[in-house]
Chain A
Amino acid sequence: MHDFKPVYIERYKKLLGEEWDIFKEAIVTPFPSSFRINTLKGKRHEILKRLEDKGWKIKQVPFYSEGFCFTEKRDFVLGNTLEHFLGLVYIQETASMIPPAVLAPKPGELVLDLTAAPGSKTTQMAAMMENQGGIVANEKEIGRLASLRMNLQRCGVLNTVVTQMDGRAFKIIDMKFDKVLLDAPCTGTGTIMKSPHTIKTWSVKASQVMSGIQKQLIQSAVNVLKPGGTLVYSTCSLEPEEDEENIDYAIKKMGLKMEKIKLDGFKTRSGITSWENKEYDSEASKSIRVYPQDNNTEGFFVAKLVKE
């Protein structure tokens, strides 16, 4: 059983009200494993035919046509299959497919993935862009570059350059992108099921510190965004300090405008507009909270913003 800290329980009761009981079960319950089919290595219908022939019992993720999850327990390790070796499939949590689906990069565009390793979302975006245009996949930690490069390689990505920089350095770089993904480093409280230690190390202070870094990364993202360009900000944390508070900052201090997010067939909640005596911009409600009890996924937060 997971030991939730009193401060955690208290804040989630505030956040969720009566739903806390459902949430506390859902956040530690294993969810169906999911993956993407990688259209850079094969045609969608051919890959699907192949998986069907092998008897994989799967169903499509409602909001993303290349995302799938298993409908029955399987007796094999997805990472050990020929399809995985060939890069025809990529193991990825359903909720983690949302940010690229919302950013919707197109062939020919220039895209920055500011915090990219291990590259789940970079490879997804490269596929959406059909290996055209260009992606800068940036990662600060040298130790995480190998997995990023390995995933780009296995997926057959041709339109990406990997850079190793502190994302905050983009604040003073003179270059412009059509779209920026900031899948920010966070305390990860949406992923307790997969990484139980998260709940042991998490504290309000940790979220506050993270929030400061995230704001600096938002400044970088805004600097390199073209006028009219789109920023998707996401975290796998459900703490308001790391989520709506930063969206409030992006609106009020960075002058970004919010856009509504629509995910067909997938239940989401509106972003909150006040937390612990702080009022956030009412537009922050256009961001989405993904709760584990709603779709049987990880917890996630996603916001879509436009630079005027």
Chain B
Amino acid sequence: MRILNRREVEVFEAKIENIYGAKESLREFTVLLSGKEDKIWIANKELFQIPLEKLRVNSVGLYFGRIDGGKLRLSVEGAGIIGLKAEKNVVELDEAHLWDFLRGFDIELKEKVPETKEYVLVKHKNDFLGIAKLEGNTLKNALPKSRKIVSLTK
């Protein structure tokens, strides 16, 4: 795990702004990289008063997302945080599609949405549900297995 310096965080913020139009989205957090520097974590700044070097650390803060084939792939929580400020690459689902999305199915969208190679944020009303890849008018579901719901309650 490595804590990013201000300059590095700004590079990430620029990337996020470029994709989703969300400005200064990481400023309030400490941002960390792990794995092969492809996993991104965020934490509150005060957490680092704790002398982590004395502990056997397994994870720090919230899993924000990762870089997958050069693309930013946000976690459900990462999508929720960015979603609040996002201005583009957001796809909204209706009630019927919501249930299918949460069960892990791909979604055929009825309306045409702007093409993009990036992952789009998926929302229903004001709830951000995660991300998906757009292929034509199909939303390729990218929910992690552990988050899929087998049967839904309305």
Contacts and interface: CB of A to CB of B under 8 A. Distances in A.
A159 B57 CA distance: 14
B59 A158 contact: no
A132 B46 contact: yes
A160 B60 CA distance: 6
Given A82-B98, A134-B46, A161 B60 contact: yes
B61 A110 contact: no
A150 interface: yes
Contacts of A87: 77
A196 interface: no
Contacts of B98: 82
B46 A149 contact: no
A158 B44 contact: yes
B58 A159 contact: no
Given A82-B102, A153-B75, A161 B151 contact: no
A41 B46 CA distance: 20
A4 interface: no
A152 B49 CA distance: 20
Contacts of B29: 158
Interface residues of A, number: 37
Contacts of B150: 80
A170 to B, nearest CB: 9
A150 B146 contact: yes
Interface in B76-111: 76-77, 80, 98, 102
B11 interface: no
B67 interface: no
A229 interface: no
B70 interface: no
Contacts of B35: none
B3 interface: no
Given A156-B77, A159-B47, A80 B152 contact: yes
Nearest to A134: B47
Interface string A78-106: 10111001110000000000000000000
A159 B61 CA distance: 6
Interface in B96-154: 98, 102, 127, 129, 146-147, 149-154
A161 B46 contact: no
Contacts of B127: 82, 86
A80 B149 contact: yes
Contact of A174 (B46, B54, B58, B153): B54
B43 interface: yes
Given A77-B151, A77-B153, A163-B55, A158 B61 contact: yes
A175 B77 contact: no
Contacts of A80: 149-153
A302 B16 CA distance: 46
A82 B152 contact: yes
Interface in B27-69: 29, 42-44, 46-52, 54-63
A165 B46 contact: no
A163 to B, nearest CB: 5
A-B pairs, 9 with minimum CB distance: A76-B153, A134-B47, A162-B58, A162-B59, A163-B55, A158-B44, A164-B58, A159-B44, A81-B153
12 contacts: A77-B151, A131-B44, A134-B46, A136-B50, A153-B63, A153-B76, A154-B147, A163-B57, A164-B56, A165-B56, A174-B54, A175-B50
Given A150-B146, A159-B43, 17 more contacts: A77-B151, A80-B149, A82-B102, A82-B152, A134-B48, A134-B49, A136-B55, A153-B75, A153-B77, A158-B62, A160-B61, A161-B43, A161-B57, A162-B60, A164-B56, A165-B56, A175-B51
Interface of B: 29, 42-44, 46-52, 54-63, 75-77, 80, 98, 102, 127, 129, 146-147, 149-154
Interface of A: 41, 54, 76-78, 80-82, 85-87, 108, 110, 131-134, 136, 145, 149-150, 152-154, 156-165, 173-175
